[in-house]
């Protein structure tokens, strides 16, 4: 550890910049630091406590209500960060980066950092947190991977000073930033051991900012982060520097024979004995250097990954006055009305608690003779008391006693006027435009929504500034992550609806189309444009959507086709134990309707939609119903034509049989003639003729049988034709379509 006492040393220059930034902001912070105590600690421990003459001193906090309203706005509205790669359109890489950012933003420590900064911005107008790197596995000595994490900066108005020359709200144009961190003595020794620092003497840096307001009005206001004598402070000084390096460029050829340009640092090229390049180019790289000091010694020096100041500021309301940055929260405008309300109510309370109780005033003659009954005014044993109602004057006149009472001190008219106007005044300051008293239970939903939007005007300013802080946080986060992620690594990614999945950063694979090794999700050295959108959280959006869908469902007439779609949408968005199956069924029914605008969200849903589309395409390939009926009628005509052809064929066969029978009859006649002519033939010839006649008879019998069979077939064909025509007429339309599709 070196000692830097020379005024020209680097440490002296850093301390000078710190003092310059602190001096430029001292007046603004002196005015705003007391707002923290006023909003969180006490509204009476200031100059008003010395000016108060009342016996009762209390707080009637109206500011606290608006603080809670703005805190609720922060919780109900999420800032959605969107990345866009600078190296071209790469939706996969953009979504990968957004999923990784959502995962780390959901960590409990990150959420606490955001809450602390939000409360500071609400009260005094300025809050901050910081990003840093930690080992991914601190128990593995061989692990070199790191993660980006956040740390809180409570009461950042006391501890963070940006470059006084910077003008942007996110301080991305700041060249340096100072941060004071406080430890107890034990905590400081632990920090030295964790960072392997050996400090010979314990020296504390300048204490955190104490305003003039706090130093003047009582020691009870000296409530720093640590107020013990063992408090030790260190200064973390972040500074942006430009590192320039000369490169020598050479022409070469890649694997595909294409010309390419290779570059080498000039120092390496000279050491390798490379020839003169065809071109020299000087590159300037921005780096962020971190110096930790106790004001005398430099305890530690390092570089911040990503080259950005890792402290993220957040403002309540911000402007410039005479070139000086000015900021404030809700306390600034409401502090004076709040003090008047406290004073007025304390005055009335003191009158009520400590003013004398009204008592009767008696003339001694009025209770003459009954004095013993009035000695104990709280004696409840007496049912009644005696009292003289008249007396006689010296002139003998009889007069009645006039009863009188002591009177309490009157309330000054000014107090009554203040009490009547201050609540409305304070509400108008905290809620400009329309106050919450403007609500009417008879108003329509649209009118109520418009009034709510007017009430939230001032709150939206805080939410919008919160969105700007988150955008800068996402930008610095991406640069730090790109600098420390140089190997293949599995990361947990979070979707918009809160579900998670695993993703691989810097994943290398061989692309067959490009015939080369390609890197998927190249986080290393990736550069992004960062945008932010502010709006209701996913849960709030779902609840609002369900409420709107229910109203729409109630307004639709019974039997409207849209009712089914709306009901399925309501069922698909139900959240609760045991509703997953119902959600899935409703979701698939919606996808099965095939309506435009209902897109699949998972691979399983995409497969279901593709299957449904294929089935629909098959059905679309079939002709319309009317065409199918005409086609069936045409097929019926063809069948009838075939039946007519069969009848003609059967008739031809019958004609052939008749011709054969006629021929056979002629042969028989000829045989008879021959028999008559050859009557003298021998018995042998008669036997032969008888045998031939017997054969002809058998053949005639067979022909008769064939004729009867043909006639029977024609009759059956005619019956079948009539039955088929009747069946076709009686078949339902869907059955006709099914038969045609077979």
> Which helix H or strand E contains 129, and what residues bound it?
strand 126-135
pTM, two decimal places: 0.65
CA–CA gap between residue 138 and residue 159 (Å, rounded): 29
What's the pLDDT at 675?
A: 59
What's the pLDDT at 477?
A: 95
DSSP bridge partners of 312: 129
DSSP 663: H
What's the pLDDT at 603?
A: 74
Cβ–Cβ under 8 Å, residues 127 and 118 = yes
Bridge-based pairing of strands 77-85 and 126-135 is: unpaired
CB burial of residue 21 (10 Å; 0-12, 13-18, 19+): buried
- Candidates 634, 349, 273; CA nearest to 264 is 273
What's the pLDDT at 476?
A: 95
Tell me the average confidence (pLDDT) per consecutive run of 10 residues in the chain, 742 residues long: 57 91 90 88 67 71 84 83 86 90 91 94 95 84 84 94 94 94 88 83 74 45 42 92 87 74 84 86 90 90 94 94 91 84 81 71 75 67 67 72 67 70 65 48 42 55 90 94 90 86 85 73 88 65 65 72 70 64 71 69 76 71 61 73 78 73 67 62 62 59 60 65 64 59 54
φ/ψ (deg, to 5) at 287 = -130, 155
Cβ–Cβ under 8 Å, residues 345 and 411 = no
DSSP 220: G
What's the pLDDT at 669?
A: 67
First-to-last C-alpha distance (Å) of the chain: 91
Bridge-based pairing of strands 360-361 and 528-536 is: unpaired
DSSP 623: P
CA–CA gap between residue 315 and residue 297 (Å, rounded): 33
What's the pLDDT at 406?
A: 61
């Amino acid at each position: 550890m070196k000692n830097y006492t020379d005024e020209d040393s680097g440490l002296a220059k850093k301390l000078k910049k710190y003092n310059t930034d602190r001096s430029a902001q001292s007046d603004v912070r002196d005015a705003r630091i007391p707002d923290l105590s006023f909003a969180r600690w006490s509204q009476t421990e200031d100059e008003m406590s010395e000016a108060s003459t009342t016996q009762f001193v209390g707080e009637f906090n109206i500011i606290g209500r608006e603080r809670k309203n703005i805190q609720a706005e922060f919780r109900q509205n999420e800032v959605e960060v969107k990345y866009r790669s600078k190296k071209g359109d790469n939706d996969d890489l953009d979504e990968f980066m957004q999923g990784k950012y959502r995962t780390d933003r959901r960590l409990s420590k990150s959420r606490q950092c955001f809450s602390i900064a939000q409360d500071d911005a609400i009260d005094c107008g300025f809050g901050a947190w910081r990003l840093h790197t930690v080992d991914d596995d601190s128990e593995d000595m061989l692990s070199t991977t790191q993660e980006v994490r956040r740390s809180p900066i409570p009461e950042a108005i006391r501890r963070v000073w940006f470059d006084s020359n910077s003008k942007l709200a996110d301080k991305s144009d700041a060249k340096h930033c100072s941060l004071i961190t406080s430890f107890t003595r034990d905590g400081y020794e632990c920090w030295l051991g964790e960072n392997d620092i050996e400090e010979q003497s314990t020296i504390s840096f300048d204490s955190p900012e104490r305003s003039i307001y706090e130093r003047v009005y009582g020691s009870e206001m000296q409530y720093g982060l640590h107020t013990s004598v063992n408090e030790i402070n260190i200064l973390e000084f972040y500074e942006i520097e430009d590192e320039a390096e000369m490169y020598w460029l050479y022409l070469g050829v890649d694997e595909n024979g294409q010309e390419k340009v290779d570059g080498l640092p000039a120092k390496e090229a000279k050491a390798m004995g490379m020839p003169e390049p065809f071109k020299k180019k000087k590159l300037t790289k921005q780096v962020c250097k971190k110096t930790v000091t106790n004001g005398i010694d430099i305890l530690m020096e390092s570089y911040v990954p990503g080259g950005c100041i890792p402290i993220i500021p957040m403002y309540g309301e911000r402007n410039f006055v005479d070139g000086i940055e000015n900021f404030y929260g809700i306390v600034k405008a409401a502090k004076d009305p709040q003090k008047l309300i406290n004073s007025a109510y304390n005055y009335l309370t003191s009158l009520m608690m400590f003013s004398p109780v009204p008592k009767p005033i008696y003339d001694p003659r009025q209770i003459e003779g009954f004095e013993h009954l009035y000695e104990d005014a709280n004696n409840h044993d007496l049912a009644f008391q005696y009292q003289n109602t008249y007396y006689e004057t010296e002139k003998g006149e009889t007069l009645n006693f006039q009863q009188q009472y002591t009177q309490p001190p009157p309330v000054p008219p000014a107090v009554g006027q203040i009490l009547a106007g201050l609540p409305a005044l304070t509400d108008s300051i905290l809620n400009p435009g329309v106050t919450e008293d403007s609500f009417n239970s008879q108003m329509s939903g649209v009118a109520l929504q418009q009034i709510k939007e007017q009430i939230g005007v001032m709150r939206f300013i805080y939410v919008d500034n919160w969105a700007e802080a988150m955008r800068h946080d996402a930008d610095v986060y991406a640069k730090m992550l790109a600098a420390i992620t140089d190997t293949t690594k599995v990361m947990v990614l979070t979707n918009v609806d809160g579900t998670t999945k695993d993703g691989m950063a810097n994943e290398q694979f061989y692309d067959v189309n490009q015939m080369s090794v390609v890197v998927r999700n190249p986080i290393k050295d990736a550069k992004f444009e960062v945008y932010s959108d502010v709006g209701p959280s996913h849960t709030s959006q779902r609840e609002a959507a369900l409420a709107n869908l229910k109203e729409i469902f109630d307004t639709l007439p019974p039997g409207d086709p849209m009712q089914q779609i709306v009901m399925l949408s309501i069922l698909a968005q139900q959240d609760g134990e045991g509703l997953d199956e119902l959600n899935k069924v409703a979701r698939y029914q919606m996808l099965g309707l095939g309506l435009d605008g209902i897109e699949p969200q998972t691979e399983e849903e995409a497969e279901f939609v593709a299957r449904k589309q294929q089935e629909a395409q098959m059905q679309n390939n079939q002709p319309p119903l009317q065409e199918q009926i005409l086609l069936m009628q045409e097929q019926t005509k063809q069948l009838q034509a075939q039946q007519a052809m069969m009848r003609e064929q059967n008739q031809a066969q019958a004609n052939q049989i008749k011709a054969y029978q006629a021929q056979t009859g002629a042969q028989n006649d000829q045989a008879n003639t021959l028999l008559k002519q050859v009557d003298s033939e021998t018995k042998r010839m008669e036997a032969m003729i008888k045998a031939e006649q017997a054969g002809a008879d058998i053949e005639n019998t067979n022909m008769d049988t064939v004729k009867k069979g043909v006639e029977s077939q024609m009759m059956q064909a005619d019956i079948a034709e009539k039955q088929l025509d009747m069946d076709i007429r009686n078949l339902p339309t869907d059955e006709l379509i099914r038969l045609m599709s077979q």
